[in-house]
Chain A
């Protein structure tokens, strides 16, 4: 894993000292809120509905046991004993007090973590495939590139005041678990003639105007990548609109100027940038790559095959929550934070410590946070799976629902978020509990439901197979449903099904939708998304709006 240098540590300590002084000046009245707000946002500190919120970056979702334990300590000492993992591979603390935040940042700094560029119109926390370095089908580990991008972008003087936030995601697998097509820049590592490079997508994004990224370049050699990215961001910084914040994202720049124009400008900008880099970035990349060397994998599966064969609960857990590892005696284990009725993405400090212990004892001291708000043990020897399962069960973390209907992404919504137009969390809780009661979840199979509490789409509803968007209709919560979205390699934005539903009607509507799928699917191997693609929206709309369907038939 990437190890901080003295330079990194000094940088953080200095930055935190600076913020500590700023907080003190706000409290003693020498800074107004207007002066202080941009300073606190530069350090990830928001003011939400009921309290402040501190957003901490977990770069490319990777952390070790010591870092996870520190996150737990912070939750206990300065928050309410839990944290919220987000779709951007961050953790958010919902209840910090202003005077404590400098101490929280120092505690993070002790384990090489921070909240820099988790807010503001800068290049945000770089996200990556949560199975990086572990997945069987991976072309290359995306994290060294992500770390290189992080080092280049952190406090980059040219890019601190972009027109709008800027998000970069990297995947090293054709499976694209990083939703690269929904980012300002999406990078997909590819191989050509034995050389590693990146396919560069640009102009994707969710929010108010959802768009799928377009291919700007199908192969950029690695040693050209940073200058190429710098050229893109520089072009956007100049060309992007600043007259209207809703039109300021690069997706609009690409849409309004056309991908050819953007490409021409990037190509024109690139040579000067390349000359300035001078190869220094590749020396840094080599050092970073060494830090990400794979652990020494141990051979053998112990009693795993026997347990798998004889214990149906364990088998179901393994079948649902593990993914093929590059080493045949290993598994990638996804630990669901979505026990039925739980708040998606929340983990208590005790749960964080259990996960840290398990990573340290059994799984090469590595953890990941996924954009689906779950926690992953990426390198778990199969021989330890049963012990890990038992420990997770004791901590309430053994729910076998990864990728199923109750594995819902939900943003904080109006239970926390100041921008929300409706709640998300209780809707997710009720849907999960309903399908648990119906015992239908495993029968239904892979199905992604994603919920956002406003058009900003932090809950990725546009790329949910079923997306739910909470709105305010004349002072009442109302939920719009989208269908057929997909965040995978061939990403698709879902289509609106029709009028929205009242708060107490949503779960019934989702149940009708899912039952309609069970009625019309060809066989159990045809997923909800496959069925939707085969039949289109009609049977699903009929299930959502039975009255209308009846009227049309009459």
Chain B
């Protein structure tokens, strides 16, 4: 049996600020994980990643990250991606300071 596909979001860092960004359903970059497009199949995920990588004037280092549906939109699964949605634990810097997180 083929392994079940874990849904993905496309994520990267913004070229100018370095901020963590996500690709939304309209193909724009958002700083809010909950507004990301949750991709349910492998083929689409790969195509969207290629589309993202073509936007090198806006972002750096696009990749696919595991995610799951939540009450307010996609949520990260792995703790690394969870940290990326909010910022560091020692200071209220990054997204948590900017009030971007939906948690």
Spell out A's residues near B (CB within 8 Å).
26-27, 29, 32-33, 47-52, 80, 94-99, 343, 346, 414-416, 420, 423, 425-426, 429, 472, 475-477
In contact, A425 and B17 (Cβ under 8 angstroms): no
- Give min CB distance, A313 to chain B, whole Å: 28
Chain B residues, Cβ within 8 Å of A29: 56-57
In contact, B16 and A47 (Cβ under 8 angstroms): no
In contact, A98 and B83 (Cβ under 8 angstroms): no
Chain A binder among B22-30, B38-46, B87-95: B87-95
Is there a chain A Cβ closer than 8 Å to B15's Cβ? yes
Bound CA–CA A98/B60 (angstroms): 12
Count, A-B residue pairs, CB within 8 A: 72
Name the residue of chain B whose CB is nearest to the CB of A503. B79
Please give the number of chain B residues whose Cβ is less than 8 angstroms from any Cβ of chain A in the complex: 25
Bound CA–CA A219/B89 (angstroms): 48
5 closest residue pairs by CB, A with B: A415-B88, A51-B18, A52-B18, A50-B94, A343-B90
B16: which of A99, A415, A423 is its contact (CB, 8 Å)? A99
B56: which of A33, A48, A97 is its contact (CB, 8 Å)? A33
In contact, B61 and A33 (Cβ under 8 angstroms): yes
In contact, B20 and A49 (Cβ under 8 angstroms): yes
Query: A49-B83, A80-B93 given. 10 additional CB < 8 A pairs?
Result: A48-B18, A50-B19, A50-B95, A80-B91, A98-B15, A98-B18, A343-B91, A414-B79, A426-B89, A426-B90
In contact, A50 and B90 (Cβ under 8 angstroms): no
In contact, A425 and B16 (Cβ under 8 angstroms): no
Bound CA–CA A443/B52 (angstroms): 57
Given contacts A27-B15, A425-B90, contact A47 B60 (CB under 8 A): yes
Spell out B's residues near A (CB within 8 Å).
13, 15-20, 56-57, 60-61, 77-80, 83-84, 87-91, 93-95
In contact, A50 and B16 (Cβ under 8 angstroms): no
In contact, B88 and A50 (Cβ under 8 angstroms): yes
Name the residue of chain A whose CB is nearest to the CB of B53. A33
B89: which of A47, A94, A98, A415 is its contact (CB, 8 Å)? A415
Chain B residues, Cβ within 8 Å of A477: 79
Name the residue of chain A whose CB is nearest to the CB of B17. A97
In contact, B93 and A423 (Cβ under 8 angstroms): no
Bound CA–CA A500/B62 (angstroms): 32
Bound CA–CA A96/B91 (angstroms): 16
Name the residue of chain A whose CB is nearest to the CB of B85. A50
In contact, A49 and B60 (Cβ under 8 angstroms): no
